[in-house]
Structure formats: structure tokens, C-alpha cells
Structure 1
Amino acid sequence: MGHRLALIAIGTTLAAVTSVAVGAPQIQREALREAARASTRTPANVARDRYRHPVDTLAFFNVAPDDTVVEIWPGGGWYTEILAPYLKDKGTLYEAAPNMGGLKAVRAMQQRDRATYGNIRLASFPAGDTLPKVPEGTADVVLTFRNAHNWQQAGPEVAQNAFDQMYAMLKPGGTLGIVDHRLPEAMPSAREGGSGYMKVSTITGYARKAGFKLADMSEVNANPADTHDYASGVWTLPPTYTLGDTDRDKYAAIGESDRMTIRFRKPK
């Protein structure tokens, strides 16, 4: 019911959404599977594939091996380990963060394995003076995973600026792919950001104001077992387990959070 309300709240239904693509062609999916099986991936990251569904997620975003892709705020580099080998031969990968501290994990990957990660380009986001920004109108795909709630927590103006800058990076017709912890529309908006969860309607509101068109949504990262109501927010669940050993088995059984997976398009 919560997911149905979400669609009502944003004033559309999936049947009315105009998709830029139904997903990646089979040969593209095979290349994504090969990248996900790369020996360069960290075993602990591979173990989380059952929660994060990287192949299906990147296929839904229709990431092609010759695309110019920007990953916003890569954190520990979980998706970087898949995107880098996938794009290494024909594509271009930017990793963008506020400063070099936000790219520490990516830099370590480059130092460890130049063959796989050496061609990654580093950029600032939001655009600043510490690193070059991604040139406007050059990206085919911009991706951000579980970051929008941080911008929301920092304030609506910060969140809107992030969406505006992502819009500027993209070529006309380009794709913005977002995955984030989903707060049901019926729950209080006051829980957004600080709990780690956000509403679909909030995400789409920022995107539309920036100029994006909603292209499609996927339930590939949904988790119906997530109750979204933990006092310590989404970090109660794995892999963080903020409460330590308290009810750990209970939260392990729930698994990682319920997540929205949304594809937006920059109009041509």
C-alpha cells in the first residue's frame, strides 16, 4: 500500500511514465555480469550483491560499456569496483566527491590496481576549487547510490543544488539513476533525511525542478520486510547495525533497507 501511495503522491503511475529504454540488451547484461564477477572486487562487497542487485540495477539504468558515466559520492567504492572494469576499454568513468577525502577509497583502488582503476577521472561534487568539475553536457549517465538523503538532511537548498549540478553534467537525453532508502508516503515527512530514508515524491520533486523528466521506476531493490520505523534510522539494519548485538538476528533477518530505484531523463 505504501508504494502505491507513493505513486499517487507524485501524480503519476508507471503506466503513464515514458521510458527511454526498457533496460539493457542481453549482450550488455552479460558484460555487466562479467564486471560483477571481476576478481578485483572485494569479497565483502560481493557478499552484499544479494541486497544491492548491481547487475539488474545498472541494466535498469541502461549503462552501456562505451558511456561516459559519473558516480556521485562513491564512498567506499562499492559500485566503483563494478563500473571501472565495465567501462575500462570503451567508456569513461568519473568519480565525484566534495574533496579528495571523499575519494580516498578510489585513490587507494588506483594505487592498488592501475590496470583496472587507473583511468578513473576524479572530479569535485558539488563543484569546487579542489578538483576539476565534470564538464557540462558531457555525461551519458549520472549515478548516485544512497546519497540523496544526505543532501536532504543538509537542507532543501543543498539537495536542489545537487540535482541542478547533475542535470548540468548530462548530455541532452542523458540518464540520472538514483537509488536511496525509501520512506513510505504515508509516514511523516519529518523522518526524511535524518533517518536515512526519503520519499519518492521528494526525490522526484527535486529532479523535476532541476528539469528532469521521470522515465521509469524499478522494484529491484525493494525490501517489503523493512518497517522503516527504527529509532536509529536505516543504520539499524545491516550492514551498519548501529545497535550492535541488540536484536541483531532480527535485523539481519530483515536485511538491508527498502530502496527506491528511479531513472530520470534530461530532455533532448
Structure 2
Amino acid sequence: MKLTHWLAGMACALTVTGMAGAAQADAIKDAVANEKRTEKYTQRDQYRHPAETLEFFQVKPDMTVVEIWPGGGWYTEILSPLLAEDGKLYAAHFPKDSDVGYFKRSRDKFEKWLADEKDTHGHIVLTEFAPGKDSEVAPAGSADAVLTFRNVHNWMRGDNEAAAFKSFYKALKPGGVLGVVEHRAKPGTDRDAMKTSGYMTQDYVVELATKAGFVLEEASEVNANPKDTAVHPKGVWTLPPSLALGEEDKEKYQAIGESDRMTLRFRKPKS
């Protein structure tokens, strides 16, 4: 009799878990499909797989999420409606006082977008992230998830990649998720090549996270691109959307598509 009760309880628990997972997936799909998304952004869904990626990162509508360096808001347009009702979204953008022209222009444009779309995105909390400095992307221990998309190579170019992961660890709750998408170099690629190409080895990214205290929970191939050799004249910027060579071999690089990318889910230990 006891075994029967236990089995019934397990079946019930699995049913509830399955329902919760289905609800999460539906909420993410609805956010991806929202009509407020910029058209040129939606055209890149075929390469970035936002629904599958966010589901893999286990993002739920009631979470507190930090998006690192949101740039023009590609993922923000999805995360914002997903978290608007029951969650919280911190957009940790470039430093406001940055003397880097691109950083300043991007931050100013993002602020204007938030102001213009206040009715839709007014709940977003704008913070900043300066790797290597003591910038607070969110209050310490407050975030359920920290997400970064194709940024680690930028921090490496300033030799600040290790400090970045420490900042994320600080912001997360025990048990929180760090989700990383990054251009993937071939195993054994040296540091100088990673710096100049924009591609990083998966082993090195895992090493960075592990040294910061994280545990690699799972890797996904959802953003893999087997057509990409990761060896190009202008590094990753040779490929779309940058197409750094302009018209030279444009069709060739368009046929390859966007870069081969690692997609990694790390966990901050509970104790």
C-alpha cells in the first residue's frame, strides 16, 4: 500500500513539473512572438534561437533576471514582456560615463528607447556593467539568473574576463543560473588568437566560470553552426551581421550564416 501511495505521489509530482515546464515554454514563445519586436531583430531568430535558448537557461516569468550589456535591446525586447508581470529585469548596460564612443552612443540610444517605450518597458531597471570595476549589475544575491550573449570576447580584449564572472557570481542568489552564449573557437586556440578573432574556446569559458565559483550544469548545441570554421580574415566579424569585408565574398559568408556558438548553463552552488 505504501509503495502504491509513493508511486501515485511521484506521478503527481511529475505531472505538475511537466505542466510547469509547458507553461514556461509557452510564456517564452509568446514573448518571442510579441508584435513589439523590431523586424530586423526577428530576422535573426534563425541564428539565435531565442525561445530554445531561454528555455535551456530555465528562465521563468517570475524570476529576477540580469541581462549583461543588452546593446540595442535584441534580447531585451523578449525578456521585457516575459518578466513584466511577475518578474524583474535589470539591464546592465555600458557605463554612462564611458569615454568609448560606441559605448556612449549605444547607452544613449538604449535610454531613449526605454523613454519612448515607457508604457511597454518602463518596468526595466537600468544599471551598468564595467568589467574590472566594482559596478553593481543588481543588488548582491538578488538575481535568479544572469544572462550574457556574445560578450565574453569583449572582456577578454581588456583582460577583464575573470573579473566579469566574479561580478555575476556576486549578483546571483545561491542556486542561481548564469547563462552564457559565446562565439566558439576550435579547441586549443591560443589567447592571442581568441582576442583578435572574437572566438573563444569552450574550455576557457568553462574555466573562467569555474574559477569564479560556478558549476557547469549543462551545455547545449542549440546555437551551434557546423558551417562555421571559426577561421576568417576579419574574425567573427567577417560573418553576418557585420560582414566586415563588405561585398567581398559576401554570398559565401551569408551562406555560412552567423557564428558557431557555445550555449552554457552554470549554477551558483546553494552552499
> What's the TM-score bracket when you normalise by the shorter of the two chains?
0.7 to 0.9
Measured in 2, the distance between the counterparts of 1:90 and 1:263 equals 23
**Given the alignment of the two structures, is residue 95 of structure 1 paired with residue 67 of structure 2, yes or no?**
no
Once the two structures are TM-superposed, the CA of residue 186 in structure 1 deviates from its matched residue by 3.9
Change (3 A) 1:41 1:140: same
Are the aligned partners of 1:98 and 1:128 in contact in 2 as well (CA < 8 Å)?
no
Q: Give the aligned partner of residue 68 of structure 2.
A: 72
In the alignment, structure 1 segments of 5+ residues that lack a partner are 1-20
Is the 8 Å Cα contact of residues 124 and 130 (structure 1) preserved in structure 2? Answer: no
Is the contact made by 2:95 and 2:130 (CA closer than 8 Å) also made in structure 1? no
Query: Any idea what the Cα deviations from partners look like across 1:165-224, whole Å, max 9, x if unmatched?
Result: 000000000000000100010444431122110001111111011100001000000000
Q: Which amino acid aligns with 1:114?
A: K
SS at match of 1:135: coil
The answer to whether structure 1 residue 222 and structure 2 residue 218 are counterparts is: no
Q: Find the residue that maps to 2:177 and give its secondary structure.
A: strand
What secondary structure does 1:192 align onto?
A: helix
Aligned partners of 1:27 and 1:173: how far apart in 2? Answer: 21
The residue aligned with 2:114 is 110
Report if aligned partners of 1:45, 1:78 keep a CA contact under 8 Å in 2. yes
Please tell me the root mean square deviation across aligned C-alpha atoms, in Å: 2.1
Matched letter for residue 160 of structure 1: A
User: TM-score by structure 1 length?
Assistant: 0.87
Q: Mapping of 1:178-193 within 5 angstroms? A: 178-193=180-195
Identity of paired residues, percent?
A: 49
Q: Which runs of 5+ in 2 are unaligned?
A: 1-16, 97-103
CA contact (8 A) 1:194 1:233 kept: yes
In the TM superposition, residue 58 of structure 1 has moved relative to its aligned partner by: 0.2
Say how many residue pairs are matched.
245
**Greater relative contact order (CA < 8 Å, ≥ 6 in sequence):** 1
User: CA shift at 1:160, angstroms?
Assistant: 0.7
Question: Which secondary structure does the structure 1 equivalent of 2:195 belong to?
Answer: coil
Once the two structures are TM-superposed, the CA of residue 131 in structure 1 deviates from its matched residue by 7.9
**Equivalence for 1:32:** 28
Structure 1 residues 38, 191: CA separation in 2 closer, same or farther (over 3 Å shift)? Answer: same
Task: Give the Cα separation in 2 of the matches to 1:188 and 1:116.
Answer: 44
- What is the CA–CA distance in structure 1 between the aligned matches of 2:156 and 2:142, rounded to whole Å? 26
1:25 aligns to what SS in structure 2? helix
3-state SS in 2 of match to 1:217: strand
Matching residue's letter, 2:167: Q
249-258 or 185-194, larger mean C-alpha shift: 185-194
Amino acid across the alignment from 2:220: S
Deviations 1:88-108 (A, max 9, x none): 011000000231335334322
TM-score (norm 2): 0.86
Tell me whether 122-131 or 46-55 shows the greater mean CA deviation. 122-131
Divergent runs of 4+, >2 A: 100-106, 126-133, 186-190
CA distance in 1, matches of 2:87, 2:50: 18
